[in-house]
Amino acid sequence: IFADMFALPPSDSNESYERRPCIQMPDSAEDLEAVLRLLYYETTLSLERLDPKTPSIVDPILSIATKYEIRVLREPIIKQLTEDWPTTLKAWDVLEKEIAVMLKAAYDDPVVFIMDDHLPEPVSAIRLAYKCGVPTILPAAFYHLSRLPMRWDRTELKTIG
């Protein structure tokens, strides 16, 4: 994509700088900087498993990686999302057991355990899946969303199962 953009022939309709074509990119400078930093300096995007902040962290990077077809960034992010939102029943059952262990530890711990601080939140995952074309995580995210109580409170300990 970038090679094609920079190979555009000069024309009167294209803006130029020092007689070279300028290409307007509507993406924010911060988002482009994050993508370029990953491409040139950091070889991987370090994400914690089941981190509720993952959708907001990866959203701008995945959006640009999708838009400009940067597979080297897109594929590892999708892999992480798929680990947080399994695509098979067997993988979902493994995740459920992992969450059950977390909940048991939380009940034994006197510190208040807030689910949102420790587990992925389905609505942001669904929004990201639609925005960036990651339909494989939708069944698990919608399933999890369907199991949340209508009057879900952030401080509730038992929101799963």
Task: Tell me the average confidence (pLDDT) per consecutive run of 10 residues in the chain, 161 residues long.
Answer: 72 71 84 90 80 89 93 91 91 86 70 60 92 94 81 50 41
Q: Which residues contact 48 (CB under 8 A, 6 or more apart)?
A: 54
Contact 45, 61 (CB under 8 A): yes
| 156 part of a folded domain | no
The secondary element (H helix, E strand) that includes residue 17 is strand 16-17
Q: Does residue 47 lie in a domain region?
A: yes
Report the distance separating Cα 146 and Cα 55, nearest Å. Answer: 19
> What domain range is 115 assigned to?
1-147
pLDDT score at 65 = 93
Q: Is 16 among the domain residues?
A: yes
Has residue 160 been placed in a domain? no
Residue 23's pLDDT is 75
Q: What is the pLDDT of residue 149?
A: 67
Residue 152 within any structural domain of the chain:
no
Task: Answer whether residue 158 is part of any domain.
Answer: no
**Pairwise CA distance, residues 161 & 148, whole Å:** 9
State residue 102's pLDDT score: 77
Q: How far apart are CA 32 and CA 25, in angstroms?
A: 9
Q: How many domains is the chain built from?
A: 1
The answer as to whether 58 is a domain residue is yes
